[in-house]
């Protein structure tokens, strides 16, 4: 069960106003004397500020050399708001007016996912500890969760009219968010959900270029023991390049007609496995399927019923 908590914020406005009233009762002569004593200090501060201004001007000039790019969204006036890096290596963002969650690759390819109910007003978004993206629904008074496959789940907040906005993942594995109109901080604990995602550094590679693969795995609840399969299915659709741990602490691979497990019978904790390969040109051309999957320990990974989670990313190779 997902747990939602709220904590009220304590205001300090009254204390600040009282402090301001007290300081305002000082006499004119006291302020004049203080002004005379502080005049040399003020002159020194003015010189320091002038120096900082020149430094800042120099920094602004340096910033002009930055490279800027913009990518148009499919819909006009979608009002993109929050953005974060997803577990799949893409960027995920909210579209407040379009009522959508967007995904954009670093090459600028955009995919959009509409929310189930209109006028939710998605704002903040963050990558969760479960391999999904979590976001706030300002108009809906809900916290949303979207998988990298685009499946959306919504969780209602206890306080109506709270208007949640910013959200982040805390060090305790929970999601923390700000409720703008109810003056509260909220906390939501996601249920453990099996998750396996793959991120790649590109979708089209050629001879001499390097493939960078990363699998991100998160545990669910049951079963307690799982097998991990990581690798790439070759263009013939029959040959598996299976990743296996190398005794030297790196990741090696083996090639064959059936997938070979990366690890078996493990109690999974959050895990990230990287793999790097440079194409020599002797590899077959075509579409490759990079995969990461979790299955119940001791079962056949090619049977859908045994899989707890499966992540796939494709790429093309041309010699």
CATH value at residue 142: 2.130.10.10
Strand pairing category for 204-206 and 307-318 = parallel
Q: Say if residues 103 and 95 touch (Cβ distance below 8 Å).
A: no
**Contacts of the segment 105-113: beta carbons below 8 A, 24+ positions apart:** 105/203, 107/202, 107/203, 108/69, 108/71, 110/71, 110/73, 110/74, 111/150, 112/73, 112/74, 112/75, 113/146, 113/150, 113/152
Residue 316, pLDDT score: 96
Upstream peptide bond of 69 is cis (omega within 30 degrees of 0): no
Longest CA–CA span in the chain (Å) reads: 92
Number of domains in the chain: 2
Domain end position, chosen among 149, 172, 188: 188
- Report how far residue 87's alpha carbon sits from residue 274's, in angstroms, rounded to the nearest whole number: 13
Residue 188, pLDDT score: 96
Whether residues 220 and 177 fall in one domain: no
Q: Is 54 part of any domain?
A: no
Q: Is 145 part of any domain?
A: yes
pTM > 0.75: no
As given in the structure block, the two tokens for residue 111 are 């995919």
**Domain hosting residue 286, numbered range:** 195-318
Backbone angles phi, psi at 51, to 5 degrees: -65, -40
Q: Is 141 part of any domain?
A: yes
Domain end position, chosen among 145, 164, 188: 188
Residue 42, pLDDT score: 54
Residues facing residue 46 across a β-bridge: none
Whether residues 183 and 199 fall in one domain: no
Run of H or E residues at 41: helix 28-63
Whether residues 134 and 99 fall in one domain: yes
Strand pairing category for 286-296 and 184-189 = unpaired
- Report how far residue 62's alpha carbon sits from residue 58's, in angstroms, rounded to the nearest whole number: 6
Whether residues 172 and 82 fall in one domain: yes
- Report how far residue 157's alpha carbon sits from residue 178's, in angstroms, rounded to the nearest whole number: 12
Count CB atoms within 10 A of the CB of residue 39. 10
13: helix, coil or strand? helix
Whether residues 232 and 262 fall in one domain: yes
Domain end position, chosen among 188, 210, 245: 188
Whether residues 184 and 201 fall in one domain: no
Run of H or E residues at 114: strand 110-114
Residue 190, pLDDT score: 87
Q: Say if residues 299 and 306 touch (Cβ distance below 8 Å).
A: yes
Q: Is 130 part of any domain?
A: yes
As given in the structure block, the two tokens for residue 253 are 């691979």
Q: List per-block mean pLDDT (blocks of 10 residues) for the chain, which spans 319 residues.
A: 65 37 38 46 52 51 74 93 92 97 93 95 94 95 93 94 96 94 95 87 94 91 94 97 92 96 94 95 97 97 94 94
Residue 43, pLDDT score: 58
């Amino acid at each position: 069960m997902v747990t939602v908590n709220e904590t009220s914020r304590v205001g300090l406005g009254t204390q600040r106003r009282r402090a301001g009233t007290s300081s305002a009762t000082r006499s004119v002569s006291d302020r004049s004397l203080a002004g005379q004593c502080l005049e040399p200090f003020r002159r020194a501060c003015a010189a320091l500020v002038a120096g900082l201004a020149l430094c800042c001007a120099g920094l602004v000039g340096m910033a002009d050399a930055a490279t800027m790019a913009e990518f148009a969204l499919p819909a006009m006036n979608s009002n993109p708001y929050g953005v974060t890096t997803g577990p799949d290596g893409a960027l995920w963002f909210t579209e407040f007016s379009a009522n959508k969650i967007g995904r954009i690759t670093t090459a600028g390819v955009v995919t959009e996912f509409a929310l189930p109910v209109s006028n939710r007003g998605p704002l903040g978004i963050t990558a969760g500890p479960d391999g999904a993206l979590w976001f706030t629904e300002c108009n809906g008074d809900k916290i949303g969760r979207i998988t990298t496959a685009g499946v959306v789940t919504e969780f209602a907040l206890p306080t109506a009219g709270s208007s949640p906005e910013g959200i982040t993942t805390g060090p305790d594995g929970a999601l923390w968010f700000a409720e703008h109109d109810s003056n509260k901080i909220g906390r939501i604990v996601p249920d453990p959900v099996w998750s396996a995602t793959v991120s790649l550094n590109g979708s089209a590679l050629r001879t001499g270029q390097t493939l960078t693969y990363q699998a991100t795995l998160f545990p669910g609840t049951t079963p307690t023991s799982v097998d991990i399969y990581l690798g790439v299915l070759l263009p013939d659709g029959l040959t598996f390049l299976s990743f296996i741990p190398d005794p030297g602490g790196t990741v090696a691979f083996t090639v064959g007609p059936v997938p070979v497990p990366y690890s078996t019978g493990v109690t999974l904790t959050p895990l990230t496995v990287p793999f790097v390969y440079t194409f020599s040109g002797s590899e077959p051309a075509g579409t490759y399927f990079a995969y990461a999957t979790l299955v119940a320990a001791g079962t056949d990974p090619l049977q859908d019923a045994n899989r707890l989670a499966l992540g796939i990313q494709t790429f093309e190779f041309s010699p």
